[in-house]
Amino acid sequence: MERGELEDAADAGVLDRGPARSGLAPDTDAVADVFARLALELHDSAGVEETVQAVVEFALQALGCSHAGVALAARGRPEVPAVTDPVVEEIYRWQMASREGPLAVSMREHSTLLVRDTATDGRWPDWAATVLSLGVRSVLDVPLTTAAGTVGVLGLYSATPDAFDADDEAVAHILARHASVAVATARKEASLAQAVDARKLVGQAMGILMERYGVDGDRAFAILKRYSQDTNTKLREVAQRLVDTRKLPK
């Protein structure tokens, strides 16, 4: 779904963010159609970054927020592949360094966190002061979860106090479900692609050793593995070094 389609939907009232709306939107079928097109766009995304960028752009159109971002869980720490502007990047960077605030709690406890007003919320005073200084008054963090656990958090931010109502939370949860599956799939595909590339690279390195030293495949692999262990270097990196320089690391 292109940005223009989202804007057209918003203009037509399909993604109405005004106070007079009832339920998710005036036209439930139209809302379902918009989310269906979002699912197709996420499916067609080329990778993780493209996937989360589509989620962020949709969030800005479908919800009453001025900023949005996605933080993904990686090796126990969040990373930030897509944000709408430097404000969100600064908020995420602060939380990643301090490990406190609604983003950290949402990712750790797999729960939705709503801050109605950063000027009065007392749960994370240092975080609230930082976010308030950036002009943000309302925050809604929704976990991206799969059967395997939380893969990330969708963060929505507004300069207006109490900006997110029950309808916004409902739409955010639907969006999070779409995003969770899309991100998990994109990550799996990226991991498989990296594994295939690594196997090809190791195979090239083995071929170099077999030709240079007249050893068989098992012996060539054993040499690579020994260098990997002795130098505490990943096997893929040892193979890359050999392919690039025709030399094994010392």
- pLDDT of 191 higher than 70: no
Residues 82 and 187 in one domain: yes
3 state DSSP class of 65: coil
What is the SS3 assignment for 133-160?
HCCCCEEEEEEEEECCEEEEEEEEEECC
Domain assignment present for 250? no
Determine the pLDDT at residue 50. 81
C-alpha to C-alpha distance for 158 and 64, rounded to whole angstroms: 7
Determine the pLDDT at residue 238. 85
**10: part of which helix (H) or strand (E)?**
helix 3-11
Residues 198 and 185 in one domain: no
Specify the number of domains making up the chain: 2
- pLDDT of 19 higher than 70: no
The DSSP secondary-structure symbol of 57 reads H
Instruction: Examine the fold and report which residue of 191, 206, 231 is the final residue of a domain before the chain moves on.
Output: 191
Kindly report the number of other CB atoms within 10 A of residue 44's CB atom: 11
Domain assignment present for 75? yes
pLDDT greater at residue 44 or residue 209: 209
Determine the pLDDT at residue 13. 46
Instruction: Examine the fold and report which residue of 154, 172, 191 is the final residue of a domain before the chain moves on.
Output: 191
Encoded tokens for 82? 């897509």
C-alpha to C-alpha distance for 167 and 223, rounded to whole angstroms: 60
Task: Report the chain's terminal Cα–Cα distance, integer Å.
Answer: 51
Give the pLDDT mean for 127-154.
91
Determine the pLDDT at residue 29. 59
Encoded tokens for 217? 């495949």
Give the pLDDT mean for 100-128.
94
Q: What is the CATH number of the domain that holds 236?
A: 1.10.10.10
Query: For the whole prediction, is pTM greater than 0.85?
Result: no
The DSSP secondary-structure symbol of 18 reads S
Give the pLDDT mean for 56-79.
80
Instruction: Examine the fold and report which residue of 191, 208, 227 is the final residue of a domain before the chain moves on.
Output: 191
Question: For residue 49, what are the CA distances in angstroms to 147, 169, 175?
Answer: 22, 24, 16
Give the pLDDT mean for 51-61.
83
Domain of residue 72, residue span: 3-191
Among 1-15, 80-94, 203-217, whose mean pLDDT is lowest?
1-15
Residues 85 and 12 in one domain: yes
Domain assignment present for 66? yes
Encoded tokens for 159? 């300069």
Q: What is the CATH number of the domain that holds 101?
A: 3.30.450.40
Among 30-39, 138-147, 157-166, whose mean pLDDT is lowest?
30-39
pLDDT band (50, 70, 90) for residue 151: confident
Residues 108 and 202 in one domain: no
Determine the pLDDT at residue 95. 87
